[in-house]
């Protein structure tokens, strides 16, 4: 097992836990808050990332045990959900970087508008957003890489 494949397994597990938490929390929020288009959009994005993580686990299993194949629609699902994951992860990363780049007076004003009193909280929140974005984007890129490897292997097996 190569280092990149080990990283892929670790990042998939991290992404699965993170996206599962946010998907479940979002669904519970929809039931408690009611219809909110932005909340529903957020749950759909987190859900797509969660589905991508689950499909990545199936891809990893198929790479480790070639006798266990993938369903016909799994590679397409990995591609589609992977693109959504890259977009969502990129958005989180840019949002976090933007939060870190805010001048101190703007941070103070934003926190006061939200009813808080500690503008220093924006920095760790920005770091968490950037970390989440990195994990999701890196995992999706690794899934694209290993999906190409799986496709190459399956084409070689069909050629024999």
* Contact yes or no for 146/60 (Cβ under 8 A): yes
Q: Residue 48: which domain range?
A: 3-64+73-159
Q: How many CA atoms lie within 13 A of 18 on its CB side?
A: 21
* Contact yes or no for 21/49 (Cβ under 8 A): no
Number of domains comprising the chain: 1
pLDDT digits (tens, 9 = 90+) for 10-61: 999 999 999 999 999 999 999 998 888 999 999 999 999 999 999 999 999 9
- Give the predicted TM-score (pTM) of the model: 0.89
How far CA 119 is from CA of 62, 99, 114, 122, in Å, comes to 48, 11, 10, 6
pLDDT at 160 over 80: no
pLDDT digits (tens, 9 = 90+) for 103-154: 989 988 988 888 888 888 889 999 999 999 999 999 999 999 999 999 998 8
């Amino acid at each position: 097992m190569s280092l990149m494949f080990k990283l892929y397994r670790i990042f998939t597990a991290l992404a699965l836990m993170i996206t599962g938490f946010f998907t479940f929390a979002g669904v519970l929020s929809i039931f408690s808050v009611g219809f909110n288009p932005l909340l529903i959009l957020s749950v759909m994005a987190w859900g797509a990332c969660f589905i991508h993580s689950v499909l990545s686990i199936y891809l990893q299993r198929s790479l480790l045990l070639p006798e266990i194949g993938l369903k016909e629609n799994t590679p397409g699902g990995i591609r589609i959900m992977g693109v959504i994951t890259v977009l969502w992860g990129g958005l989180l990363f840019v949002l976090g970087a933007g939060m870190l780049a805010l001048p101190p007076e703007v941070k103070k004003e934003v926190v006061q508008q939200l009813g808080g009193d500690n503008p220093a909280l924006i920095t760790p929140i920005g770091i968490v957003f950037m970390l989440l974005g990195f994990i999701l984007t890196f995992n999706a890129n690794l899934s694209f890489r290993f999906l190409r490897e799986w496709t190459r292997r399956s084409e070689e097996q069909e050629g024999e």
